């Protein structure tokens, strides 16, 4: 299965986007969608209107938006640690998404930390 993803501005590293696309995901970046420097609410609304799961490192702000409006295609959040050695690599992010897909987790209306799916 492949996901329709919107990659938030803070997550749109070329290598990550390439890996997501190589594994079959329909991934567009905030830049490609014309969303650079736009408020989180605009990015969130774009994801909803274009039926895309949002991938972000901006966990706190998008969790707050999820709590305000939990009707959306899904939010995949990647938490960062002050200890850089604990952060997820791009390959680990792609693998965590594959792990979610493998067990059939429904993403719609969910705020999911990918860190818990990195194994």
pLDDT surpasses 70 at 84: no
pLDDT surpasses 90 at 80: no
Q: What is the dihedral of CA 32, 36, 111, 3, to 10 degrees?
A: 0
Nearest C-alpha neighbor of 51 from the set 73, 66, 32, 35: 73
pLDDT surpasses 70 at 94: yes
Q: What is the pLDDT of residue 119?
A: 79
pLDDT tens for each residue of 95-113 = 999 999 999 999 999 999 9
Residue 38: phi and psi, rounded to 5, are -85, 150
The phi-psi region of residue 117 (left if phi > 0; otherwise alpha if psi is between -120 and 50; otherwise beta) is: alpha
What kind of fold does domain 4-117 have according to CATH? Answer: Rossmann fold (3.40.50)
Residue 33: phi and psi, rounded to 5, are -90, 0
Q: What is the pLDDT of residue 86?
A: 72
């Amino acid at each position: 299965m492949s996901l329709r993803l919107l990659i938030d501005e803070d997550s749109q590293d070329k290598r990550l986007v390439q890996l997501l696309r190589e594994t079959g995901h329909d991934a567009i970046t905030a830049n490609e969608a014309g969303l650079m420097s736009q408020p989180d609410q605009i990015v969130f609304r774009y994801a909803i209107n274009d039926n895309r799961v949002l991938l972000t490192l901006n966990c706190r702000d998008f969790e707050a938006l999820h709590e305000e409006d939990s009707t959306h295609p899904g939010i995949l959040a990647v938490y960062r640690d002050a200890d850089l050695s604990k952060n997820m690599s791009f390959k680990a992010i792609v693998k965590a998404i594959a792990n979610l897909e493998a067990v059939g987790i429904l993403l719609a209306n969910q705020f999911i930390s990918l860190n818990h799916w990195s194994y």
